[in-house]
Structures are given as C-alpha cells and as structure tokens.
Amino acid sequence: MTRQRNDNVGAIGTARPAPELEVWQALNIALDRAMERDSGVFILGEDVGLFGGSYRVTQGLYAKYGEWRVRDTPISENSFVGMGVGAALAGGRPVVEIMTVNFALLALDSIINMAAKLRYMSGGQLQVPLVVRMPGGVARQLGAQHSQRLEHTLINVPGLRVVVPATAQDSYWQLSQAIVADDPIVVLEHEFLYFTKGPFDAAAAPPPMHAAAVRREGRDVTLIAWQRMVSECMNAAAQLSARGIEAEVIDLRSLRPIDLPLLRASVAKTHHAIVVEEDCRFGGAGAEIAATLAEASYPDLRAAVRRVAASDVPTPYNLELERASIPRTQNILDAVEELAGSTG
Amino acid sequence: MQRKLAWQFLYDMTLARQFEQAAAEQYTQGNIGGFLHLYPGEEAVAVASLHAAEASDYVVSTYREHVHALVRGVRPAAVMAELFGKATGCSGGYGGSMHLYDAEHRFLGGYAIVGETFAIAAGVGYWLRMNDLTHVVLCYFGDGAVNQGTFHESLNMAALWKLPVLFVCENNRYQIGTEIHRHSAVPEVYRRASAYGIDSRRVDGMDVVAVYEATRAALQHVRAGNGPYLLECETYRYRGHSMADSGAYRSALELAELRARDPLDGFRERALAEGWLVAADCDEIDSEIDRVVADAVRFAADSPQPTDLGASVYREPLDLYGGRP
C-alpha cells in the first residue's frame, strides 16, 4: 500500500483558491464545491475520511461533511465500487476513490460489467452518475504491483469516459465536470503530479471535458501526450527549438473520447506526429491514438505516426532501471530525429 | 389467511410456472436466444417475499429473474418481449433474459455475473440510510453466489453501517452442476451471516406461506433500523441450470422427492382445504393465466425489433472518431 504522510488530518481551509495550487488541492476544492452544491454527492474509499486521503485529496472533507458523506471503507474494492454503482442507480452521485489504479484490478467487474453497461442494458432507463478516481502511473520505486497504468483496458469499454488531467486547473475542471455528468467517468490521476504546482482560477470557464489542449504551438512535428509525459514533451520541444525544430505539444486531457479534430488540425499543419505514453507500448492507448489518427489524417501525414512508450516489462524496483523503463526527454528527441531522417 | 392474498399467491405462482413454460417453448422454437434460466420449482420464494415487500422497496436480482420482475409488476408482455429481444421489451431489447429492468417498479435488475447483486444492494441501502429513507432493498442470490468475495465484502459493510438490506438466498442446492456439499464448507447458508453479526434464519422455500411470514418478520427487523437480515429459502429447480443443461447430474429420485413437495400444487391444495379459495377460483386463475401468457407471446412475436444500435450507451452520444462513423 502506498501512503503519503498527512500532517493535516481533519483540517479545513488548507486548500483555498490561490493563484498557484498543487494538483491535490485543486481536486480537493472540486470535491468540496460539488459537495456544497449537491447533497447527493458523497465519497467512498479507503482512508478518505479520518485519514484525509492517501494523497490528501479528501483532506478536511470528513470533518466538514461527516462520515456518511465521506465514508472510510474496508479494503473491499470490488464491493465498494459496486456500492457506488448501486447508490448511483438510486439517485446518488458517488465519487469513489480507489487508493491506486493497481487495486482497481479487483474492481473491474463493478466498473466494466456494471457501471459501464447498465444504461445500455436497461434500454436507457437507468443511469450511473458515478465518478471513480484513481491515481496511477510510475511514481518512485514502488515496485511492479504499484506502478501500473490502466488506460489500455479502460478506454476500450463502451459506456465509460476516461479523463487524464495533468494540471491543477484541469484537475479541478474535469473532476467538477465528471461529478455533474450523468455517465460513469474514470478520472485517472497521476501519483507523480499530485504535488506539482500550476496556475489556478476557479472562476475561469472550463473547456469541454474531452477537449485536448495545445500546450505549445509548432509547425514541424506534433507531440501527443497526457499526464506526466506532457512535461517530458515540453522539455523536448524546448531543446528541439534550439535546433530549429518547432514541435507542437498537445495535452490530450481525455482518452475516451480523444479530441480527434484537434489532432487532425495539428497534423494538417505539421505533417508528423509522435504519441508519447508512459504505458507499455504493445496494445497501449498510444497504439489506438496512433492508429485512429493515421486513418483519419493519412493524406496529411508524411511518415507513419510514431510511438514513444514504456518498455514492455513489469516496472522494476531498481531506480535506474525504473527510470529506463519509461520514456524520457531523450527518447522523444531520438524519435524526432528518426522521424526527420525517415522523411528527409 | 385473507382470500385476497391467497388469490395473489396462486395467481402469481401459476403465472410464474406458465410463463416459464412458454419461455422454454419459445426458446426451443428459436424465438428466444442466448442463455435462458428458468424458475419452475422456486416460485414460492419470489412470490412470497415480494408480496411481503412494499412497492417502494427496491429489488435487485440475478440472471434467473423473470419471476421477480413479473411479481414486481412488470407486464408479462414486456418481459416476454424482452426475451424475444424486441423494442417493446422491458429493457428495450438491449438486455435479454438476464438483464430485465424496470425503473418505475424499482426493479434494478438483472445481474448476470454471480455475486454482483450484493454490492448493488449494499449501495442502494447506503443511499437509503444516508438519506434517512425507510425503504428496504431486497437482494436475491443463489447458493452458488456465497463463495464470491462480494458476498463477504458486502455483508461486512452492510452490517458495519446497518444498511437496510434483506438478503434472500434462493438455495436451490446447485451451483450449475455442483451440489452444495461439493462447493461449500458450510452448506447452511444462513449460518454464514453470523460471521458478520447479521441475524438470519432458514425457511422452507417450497412453502409460500412460510416464506411470506419469514419475509415479513425479516423486513420488520430491517425496517426497524436493526441493519441487514439474511433469509435462506431452501428450494429447488426442476429444470437444469439453463436451457443448455439437462440436469443429468441429479438423481431421478431426488427430483421426484422435490416435485412431490411442489410449491404450487401444495399451496392450491392447502388453500382449498383451509377454505381460503374455492375450486372456481383455481379454474378462473388457470384460464386467466392461459390468456395472459398467450397474449404475452403474441405481443412479443408481433413487436418490432429495436433498430438503434448505439442508443443510450451514454446520456449524450460519444464521438470517438471525430464525426466519422
């Protein structure tokens, strides 16, 4: 089990709006505001209450809303996610936190067999306004069982939406949008990003939940990424710029659906695309994005869409090997070089 | 017993028996596809327990749930049309035999993965308790489901938070072809509830009156705020697990013994002997059910097919391919 030390158990007000916030604080504010607005919003999960959340995301909410709306559950992932489905069917808007994406493997029946299918199987009579939040990705030396990504499985499921915020602002916007939506939505959070800081404006109007964002404009190559890989792409783009190559960096923000029109518009300009993902290469989300983009934008592309992805191995414990297992800036630079070489 | 209730018991058990018989025939004729799990032999459980419940209570059931839907008030025609996969079915033709739903009757399905009902029921119960609502969730499951993790996980949580859930075990002795002594270290299902401090009892599931009285007492217990209750009904299915199963793993003697205790025949005899009903009632019910079931089959056969493949996957359609199909 992964646990972050939490010195502010039960404290309220540590997560006030400010010009710059950490990702966990933005998520905390989104939950707080949603719970203030709608008494049907409640939280289920392991150590979300008294403990304040493994990554502080629910900090202060137990003290403010009480045990029925911020419920510490036993370690029973499949059943407490299934309870979320049941409560959603009855009219609630549960936000279920799975402590890490790795434990969500125990809850896939509730997510895939129930949450995703009930509206359809019931001919549209029932709805499951459920949010399932789960942190994942490769953090730091947590070992193979605690360093997984689940995008590949979840984006293949009709009935689900999957969002992947990378910034504090997007975390606030997308979690807020997910809670008021009437369909089950998985919010994948990244363990490495919780304590990163970014600009935050609670009053700003959000873009659509699935809209991708152009983080840097460029004319030569499109780098497509999400979550932690966005900053790797930004680093690569800065270095490429010094060599006279202007990369456009797109933060997908959502993996089901993807913002295909934005990707196509970018590729129409750059004629080259590289998908950068932290997940294993074979059968990963990047494969789907590359294939869909290739089919849609074939006439605009001057080379095959490339992928930079994690090695096809379980995540090793050793720090150097772990770093080598996921894409780094240099891998992106290499891929751009190869792409440039292949198209002359 | 009041005449009205006796009439309802006989009516619903007869409907259950005849509806399932008609479903088997329609399956054999190729009008119903997929898996079809039928209920003959177990009628007393659904009929009695659902008549003991209130219309405002919630019902969560398994893949052997046609009768639960019918007793709950879903029109036989709408259930049969669903088995036919028609647009007029209670799930619009998108669910099938194992996925019947009716939001209006608080009939929440229809779950075809063994053990799912526990968590769904606990979740509805959590919502009721969180909002101080007095309704109860009736959660049906078979003896085979009690070895799933969700049974233990959900009973633990239901007891921990005193959730208003009545767990009703339809113990028909078989997990498909595996008899209960071969799948459970503790074959008395009701005893398992004690692991979580949940009150429970076992009742003769072939006796509709006994199940009714046991359910009423159990519901009183739950409604009084004492938390969940587990009622084990010892019953039997005459047919195989599904239409694909002949049930050859069971002895003819065992089947004959249980058929001799048929819940429908037994209740009819008793109702006449006690004077709850007269012979004319039985005849009237039989002919009425013949008509209702024949109408249901005709309605299903005459109904249109659903045509919208992508309907209601989401509240608003999801555009995966940028506007292209």
A276 and A191 within one domain: no
pLDDT value at residue A341: 81
Last residue of a domain, one of A170, A199, A228: A199
How many H helices and E strands in chain A?
12, 14
Give me the sign of the Cα torsion angle B227, B232, B233, B236. Answer: positive
Set A22, A77, A278, A288: catalytic member? A77
Taking contacts as CB-CB distances below 8 angstroms, the residues of chain A near B149 are: 76, 78-79
Rounded CA gap, A263 and A224, in Å? 8
CATH code assigned at A175 = 3.40.50.970
Nearest residue of chain B to residue A83 (CA atoms):
B123
Last residue of a domain, one of A199, A221, A247: A199
Rounded CA gap, A27 and B112, in Å? 35
Q: Write down the residue that tokens 């058929």 correspond to.
A: B259
| CB neighbour class for A261 (10 Å; exposed up to 12, middle 13-18, buried from 19) | middle
Q: How many domains does chain A have?
A: 2
> In this complex, do A114 and B116 lie within 8 Å of one another by their Cβ atoms?
yes
Which residues are registered as beta bridge partners of A42?
A94
Last residue of a domain, one of A160, A176, A199: A199
A36 and A185 within one domain: yes
A218 and A191 within one domain: no
* Encoded tokens for A260: 């295909």
Give catalytic status of residue A146 as yes or no. Answer: yes
A182 and A38 within one domain: yes
A289 and A179 within one domain: no
Each residue's pLDDT, cut to its tens digit, for chain A (344 residues) gives 444 444 444 445 555 545 899 999 999 999 999 999 999 999 999 999 999 999 999 999 999 999 999 999 999 999 999 999 999 999 999 999 999 999 999 999 999 999 999 999 999 999 999 999 999 999 999 999 999 999 999 999 999 999 999 999 999 999 999 999 999 999 999 999 999 999 999 999 999 999 999 999 999 999 999 999 999 999 999 999 999 999 999 999 999 999 999 999 999 999 999 999 999 999 999 999 999 999 999 999 999 999 999 999 999 999 999 999 999 999 999 999 999 887 64
The reply to whether A127 falls in a domain is yes
Q: Say if pTM beats, i.e. exceeds, 0.80.
A: yes
Give catalytic status of residue A190 as yes or no. Answer: no
**A318: which residues sit within 8 A by CB, 6+ positions away?**
A141
Mutate which: B86, B116, B137, vs A, most A CBs within 10 A: B116
Rounded CA gap, B140 and B151, in Å? 12
Taking contacts as CB-CB distances below 8 angstroms, the residues of chain B near A114 are: 111, 116, 120
Contact present, B40 and B21 (Cβ < 8 Å): yes
A255 and A188 within one domain: no
A226 and A195 within one domain: no
> How many other CB atoms sit within 10 Å of the CB of residue A63?
15
A187 Cα to chain B: minimum distance (Å): 17
Pairing type for strands A306-310 and A161-163 reads unpaired
- Tell me the residue range of the domain where A56 lies: 20-199
B149-160 vs A77-89: helix crossing angle, rounded to 10: 70
The reply to whether A205 falls in a domain is no
- The CA–CA distances, whole Å, from A62 to A73, B4, B20, B313 equal 13, 50, 50, 34
Contact present, B131 and A42 (Cβ < 8 Å): no
Amino acid identity of residue A51, one-letter, is: F
Provide long-range contacts, Cβ within 8 A and 24+ apart, for B49-53. Answer: B49/B138, B49/B166, B49/B168, B49/B211, B49/B212, B49/B215, B49/B231, B49/B233, B50/B138, B51/B5, B51/B8, B51/B9, B51/B12, B51/B212, B52/B212, B52/B215, B52/B216, B52/B219, B53/B136, B53/B138, B53/B215, B53/B219
CATH code assigned at A281 = 3.40.50.920
Each residue's pLDDT, cut to its tens digit, for chain B (325 residues) gives 799 999 999 999 999 999 999 999 999 999 999 999 999 999 999 999 999 999 999 999 999 999 999 999 999 999 999 999 999 999 999 999 999 999 999 999 999 999 999 999 999 999 999 999 999 999 999 999 999 999 999 999 999 999 999 999 999 999 999 999 999 999 999 999 999 999 999 999 999 999 999 999 999 999 999 999 999 999 999 999 999 998 999 999 999 999 999 999 999 999 999 999 999 999 999 999 999 999 999 999 999 999 999 889 999 999 899 865 4
> In this complex, do B315 and A89 lie within 8 Å of one another by their Cβ atoms?
no
> In this complex, do B108 and A79 lie within 8 Å of one another by their Cβ atoms?
no
Task: State whether residue A43 is helix, strand or coil.
Answer: strand
A97 and A28 within one domain: yes
> In this complex, do B120 and A82 lie within 8 Å of one another by their Cβ atoms?
yes
Among residues 267-306 of chain B, which lie with CB inside 8 Å of chain A? Answer: 306
Pairing type for strands B107-110 and A306-310 reads unpaired
Set A97, A146, A288, A322: catalytic member? A146
Rounded CA gap, A66 and A55, in Å? 19
Nearest residue of chain B to residue A158 (CA atoms):
B313
A191 and A140 within one domain: yes
pLDDT value at residue A9: 42
First-to-last CA distance in chain A? 49
Which residues are registered as beta bridge partners of A186?
A132, A162
- Please say whether the structural domain B3-302 has been given the CATH code 3.50.50.60: no
Which residues are registered as beta bridge partners of B59?
B107, B138
Rounded CA gap, B80 and B296, in Å? 6
Which residues are registered as beta bridge partners of B179?
B174
